[in-house]
Amino acid sequence: MLRKLIVNNYAIVREISTDFDDGLTILSGETGAGKSILIGALNLILGERASSDVIRSGEHLAVVEAEIDDIPKSAIEELQRLEIDCDDGCVKFRREVQTKGPSRAFVNDRMVPVSALKSVASTMFDLVGQHEQQYLINTDHHIAFLDSFAGLNELCGHVTILFEQRVNVKAKLDKLADKAQRHKEMLELYQFQVQEIEQAGLSSDEEEALLSEKKILENAGKLRTTLGGISGVLATDDHSITSRIAHIEAMLEEAVEIDRSLAEFLEGIAGSRYLLEETGRTLASRAESVEANPNRLEEIESRLDVYYDLKKKYGGSIDALNAYCKKAQSELKSDMDLSEQIELHRTRLQGIEEELSLSAVELSTKRQKHADILSKKVEKELSQLGIAKGQFRVRIDRREDEQGLVEHDGKRYRVERDGIDQTEFYFCANRGEELRPLAKIASGGELSRVMLALKTVGASKKQLETLIFDEVDSGIGGEVAAAVGRKLRQLAKKHQIIVITHLQQIAAAGEHHYQVYKEKQNGRMVTLIRRLSEKERREEIGRMLTGDKLTETSLKQADELLAEFE
């Protein structure tokens, strides 16, 4: 049960500390007094996103605290999961919003993630706000409501896990198959490349020799002329070097006859002459052998093109080409057989799909059963809310798909995260009328009562201790409002109910009544809340009947409304 709510520096609230009792508590006040501010503060306790805009002007920190006692078993289990002590059966939630930095959440003065605060608080109370009608007419939420009512959340969660496992295993299997195909293609490429390199039979020595021969063939004429000219200068011309050396040699012979010590020079000059003569003859012979050979040049260029192409393809040099060839040969020898892994994942996928199919069918079957139970319970609640002949149906359609995974009763169905079912709530206010989707209900009053009926049934199943209703009276009045008040009073026998209302019929059903109001303090308007005495409560309901002006008639009417619940 919510026992205390403390709000500091939130919007135009400077400081509020309010105690709550069991039963039905009414919050009323003029429009703009700040009732929605209290709802916003409670939403922070329920883990909604916080903005620094809610901090009271001039302050740096807004704080909302809620003290809860008689906490349910589900809340105790959630606290134990978070390793938070609650030996006295009480828990305190706190949310702090700062002007700078993220908001902070606390459970029993221990800082926790906001998600943890939300998970614990949601097991204790539910806030049914003005947005709740839009939430309920969204068909995406109908299947979740049915599962919660039927106690199928665990089974649905199991289906979701299996669905995600199937998606993941299929993705891995696709990757393995793709990897195996790419590996196969890679091996085929390596096989081709190794064969190409080996058949080419390239070597650095051959390349060097070919380049040298190519250069000679490209310059054959020039080389022949040059070698012939050198040969002539050395030996064959009349004024060749060897002729001149021979003349020097003859002169030196004469000198040796005079001075025998010059003989060693004679030997050197003679040796030089012989060497130059031999060189001249060799170069002359070489010049004669040099010929232009276009066919051979074409052969060489063709062979060098092979070198150029393969070096460009495999690294730019013979060494790089040989290294690549060795790598490719090594890859060809490696054992990368993925078939075992692929088969393992296929077997696992088959097992997951079999279990997913069975679980999805089981979930669908149980949903069908509890859909009828939920429909009857909601109709019973509606009969107590002024819709005695109303009809409510939970319609479940399985997703038929010829390519679907799940096969049952001769048909195939597509399975998704929540199973094979599509669920939608249908309603009509009078028997004999056509049932229509909840989203197409034109009357806001009818939708408000359907929402209250669903929440009443759901609260009983979820074992929520506290229900807070904001504007549950939307679109209703008169006897319908009185019926809603009676239903809330009845509901308050099993739950703590807190209701924000503008209607006197609902306010009269309350066991405790608080007024939310504004007053000026130190030149600034602030929102305050106070508990009304029996006399003040009577007057407040009287004002709700006529507006600001309180009359004897309105007081008498207030007495009549209050008398119904005495």
Torsions phi, psi for 338 (to 5 deg): -95, 0
Q: Is pLDDT of 244 > 70?
A: yes
Distance CA 199, CA 142 (A): 71
Q: Is pLDDT of 351 > 80?
A: yes
The 10s digit of each residue's pLDDT in 48-67 is 888 899 999 989 999 999 99
Distance of CA 288 to the CA centre of its chain: 83
pLDDT of res. 358: 96
pLDDT of res. 130: 65
Distance of CA 285 to the CA centre of its chain: 85
pLDDT of res. 294: 84
* β-strand partners of 424: 395
What rounded mean pLDDT belongs to the chain? 88
DSSP 25: E
CATH topology of domain 1-124+464-566: Rossmann fold (3.40.50)
Q: How many CB atoms lie within 10 A of CB 204?
A: 12
Residues 446-473, mean pLDDT to the nearest whole number: 82
Find which of 172-186, 210-224, 405-419, 448-462 is predicted with most confidence, using mean pLDDT.
Answer: 405-419
For every residue of 349-377, which 3-state class applies, written as one string? HHHHHHHHHHHHHHHHHHHHHHHHHHHHH
Please identify which residue in the block is written with the tokens 């929520």.
Answer: 464
Express the helix, strand and coil content of the chain in percent, nearest 5 each.
55, 20, 25
> What is this structure's pTM?
0.69
Q: Is pLDDT of 463 > 80?
A: no
Torsions phi, psi for 510 (to 5 deg): -70, 155
The 10s digit of each residue's pLDDT in 247-271 is 888 888 888 888 888 888 888 888 8
Find which of 27-36, 198-207, 322-331, 352-361 is predicted with most confidence, using mean pLDDT.
Answer: 352-361
Q: What is the DSSP string of 488-524?
A: HHHHTTTSEEEEE-S-HHHHTT-SEEEEEEEEEETTE
By DSSP bridging, strand 24-28 and strand 61-68 are: unpaired
Residues 314-327, mean pLDDT to the nearest whole number: 89
Q: How many CB atoms lie within 10 A of CB 86?
A: 18
Distance CA 511, CA 201 (A): 102
What is the enclosing helix (H) or strand (E) of 413?
strand 411-413
Q: Ramachandran region of residue 184, left (φ > 0), alpha (ψ -120 to 50) or beta?
A: alpha
Rounded CA Rg of the chain: 50
DSSP 440: G
CA atoms within 13 A on the CB side of 102: 8
Distance CA 452, CA 444 (A): 12
pLDDT of res. 373: 94
Percent of the chain scoring above 70 in pLDDT: 97
Q: Is pLDDT of 414 > 80?
A: yes
Residues 126-135, mean pLDDT to the nearest whole number: 75
Distance CA 213, CA 132 (A): 92
Report which residue type is found at 358: L
**Which of these ranges, 135-149, 448-462, 498-512, has the smallest mean pLDDT?**
448-462
pLDDT of res. 442: 57
Distance CA 531, CA 26 (A): 10
Contacts of 519 (CB under 8 A, 6+ apart): 525, 526, 528
Q: Residue-wise over 374-403: b if at least 16 C-beta within 10 A, else e?
A: bbebbbebbebbbbeebbbbbebebbeeee
Structure confidence at residue 462 as a pLDDT band (50, 70, 90): low
Structure confidence at residue 360 as a pLDDT band (50, 70, 90): very high
- Burial (0-12, 13-18, 19+ Cβ within 10 Å), 329: middle
Q: Is pLDDT of 23 > 90?
A: yes
| Under 8 Å between Cβ of 325 and 197 | yes
Cα distances (angstroms) measured from residue 489 to each of 272, 472, 495: 135, 13, 10
Q: What is the dihedral of CA 302, 307, 313, 317, to 10 degrees?
A: -160
Helix (H, G, I), strand (E, B) or coil at 88: coil
Torsions phi, psi for 99 (to 5 deg): -70, -30
Residues 139-159, mean pLDDT to the nearest whole number: 92
Q: Ramachandran region of residue 410, left (φ > 0), alpha (ψ -120 to 50) or beta?
A: left
Q: Where are the domains of the chain?
A: 1-124+464-566, 184-333
**More confident of the two residues 378 and 522:** 378
Structure confidence at residue 78 as a pLDDT band (50, 70, 90): confident
What are the helix and strand counts (H, E) for the chain?
Answer: 18, 17
Long-range contacts (CB closer than 8 Å, 24 or more residues apart) made by 111-114: 112/82, 112/84, 114/47
Distance CA 79, CA 93 (A): 12
Please identify which residue in the block is written with the tokens 């696992």.
Answer: 348
